[in-house]
Structure 1
């Protein structure tokens, strides 16, 4: 549950005494962090404070202006109409402070924090090298890369950029296509020598299948791939981790349904039934407020650069 800020008419006992109309720039910067990340804990982390201080500053800001700036929504916080009015003011303060306290010489022009969540395979293959390159260009920029496979959330998730398999449909975000990949079946030559190599999908039930736990992530493209496989009387080995799928297949646990870009990097794995090729696209979901942060825009650009895609217009939900 999100931390509920104290009502504007009843600020926290330890909140700064702010007379009506006297707004603290510090409180506005705190609002900016919550607007971008949607969670008090994530905003606190980015500001180097604790979530109680975030709550106190938001309460002080609301007390100063006599109105709410945030409202609680499922999985996060959203700006009220008054909060949106104050967003540009907070960004002006942030820009002014960056001129007063410039980044150290040689640290690059971008500073602050960018938080990216992506599936493990994408993190290893594209996100980690891309964001490492970004930090080489801008050493003052801090990055948090979270390995996570989940559907895009309708509300704030505590990260700036969410990457997921399949096109997101989030009303408050913009979607950017990154790159395509395939899921294919892989097993070791030793496993196939012991259990036989299937020549058709009808023979798969004789084998143990390695894949995701059914319906765990709620991602249609991944669930559809799993449903294409017949029921296996020999059972299965399921995990929420793509890297565990790869490791289990390499250990001879069964036939793994894994990304071909990972399976083909391990010489001990053999492609089985190559005609079973399930195509999926990685997409990035980014909030409009987050894109007003230059560091977030730069992170999105370098991710697309490493995915070898030209710049393109974002896709609005439902298009």
Structure 2
């Protein structure tokens, strides 16, 4: 159960910003909200409830004498005064980390990093990368949210987001991770039953297995399916692993990532001339990129 317990072990000291004392716990709360953009997400990471987050931000603003956060459609963003406090807050975070390093005798990444990623990328690349990182840094907590979503300018609630297609963002940093191809696959059993298409127009007589477009709204993934004729029927899901399972169950012709389909020997390429290339990109909030743990997770993905 979430409580109103101390955020850290730093309550014994106070820092001074612009000559006004500020509780270091409140500065750590501000730092977490700045990185995640939501009170509820910060509360989850810090192990308190969202009303505690709101109260501590209010106490900090009272001590400092001004607003440190402003609410936007994309979540909470720092004001100029709030950005001035990032340096002192990060200094407190580093001091707490140094205490842990002295206790263990080695440098350790610590804290929580929250990542959102499409399930295909998460299972194939993200999970192996972060578990290797965590073996070297056992005090590092990782939270994975599987979601295939459009990149937004100010996505809040996560430190790092993996998206499909190059994102158009200005206030966040975008890093290219890897490319892949969407291609058409089916089983021999399905093709024997329904016939093998020899041209794109023939797909109009088949069942297409793919995403629910209205629930997805990812430009690259939408474009891949728009290039195909309207199917006779469809089997749609928000999970790429459901797509693979449906095609393996002889349910239709699937528009599947090549790296998943090529692992299944029973899947055959349909219309080999059709291929749509896209890629995975990492989007990191400006404040989150200052976090050493977030930078380490991003570096592990880029490797």
8 Å CA contact 1:246–1:256 kept in 2: the answer is yes
Q: Distance in 1 between matches of 2:132 and 2:100?
A: 25
Q: Give the Å deviation of 1:103.
A: 7.1
Offset from partner CA, 1:121-180 (integer Å, 9 cap, x none): 001110010111111121111111111100122224211111011011122101100100
- Structure 2 equivalent of residue 152 of structure 1: 151
- Over 3 Å counting, the alpha-carbon distance change for 1:271 and 1:106 in structure 2 is farther
Q: Distance in 2 between matches of 1:84 and 1:249?
A: 50
- Structure 2 equivalent of residue 13 of structure 1: none
Offset from partner CA, 1:261-280 (integer Å, 9 cap, x none): 10111111111111111000
**Greater than 6 Å deviation, 4+ residue runs:** none
- Over 3 Å counting, the alpha-carbon distance change for 1:104 and 1:128 in structure 2 is farther
Q: Distance in 2 between matches of 1:227 and 1:103?
A: 57
Structure 1 residues 65-74 or 91-100, which shifts more? 91-100
Q: Distance in 2 between matches of 1:294 and 1:302?
A: 12
What TM-score, normalized to structure 2? 0.91
- Structure 2 equivalent of residue 205 of structure 1: 204
Q: Distance in 1 between matches of 2:161 and 2:216?
A: 14
The equivalences for 1:99-138 within 5 A come to 99-102=98-101, 105=104, 109-138=108-137
Structure 1 residues 264-273 or 105-114, which shifts more? 105-114
- Structure 2 equivalent of residue 6 of structure 1: none
8 Å CA contact 1:108–1:139 kept in 2: the answer is no
The equivalences for 1:130-209 within 5 A come to 130-209=129-208
8 Å CA contact 1:103–1:111 kept in 2: the answer is no
Q: Distance in 2 between matches of 1:201 and 1:104?
A: 64
- Over 3 Å counting, the alpha-carbon distance change for 1:104 and 1:276 in structure 2 is farther
- Structure 1 equivalent of residue 285 of structure 2: 287
Q: Give the Å deviation of 1:50.
A: 1.3
- Over 3 Å counting, the alpha-carbon distance change for 1:195 and 1:106 in structure 2 is farther
Q: Give the Å deviation of 1:75.
A: 3.2
- Structure 1 equivalent of residue 224 of structure 2: 225
Q: What is the aligned length?
A: 285
Structure 1 residues 181-190 or 215-224, which shifts more? 215-224
Supply the RMSD in Å over aligned alpha carbons.
1.4
SS in 1 for 2:216: coil
Q: Distance in 2 between matches of 1:137 and 1:106?
A: 14
Q: Give the Å deviation of 1:108.
A: 5.3
Q: Distance in 1 between matches of 2:127 and 2:36?
A: 21
SS in 1 for 2:215: coil
Structure 2 gaps, min length 5? 1-18
1:244 matched to 2:242? The reply is yes
- Structure 1 equivalent of residue 270 of structure 2: 272
What TM-score, normalized to structure 1? 0.86
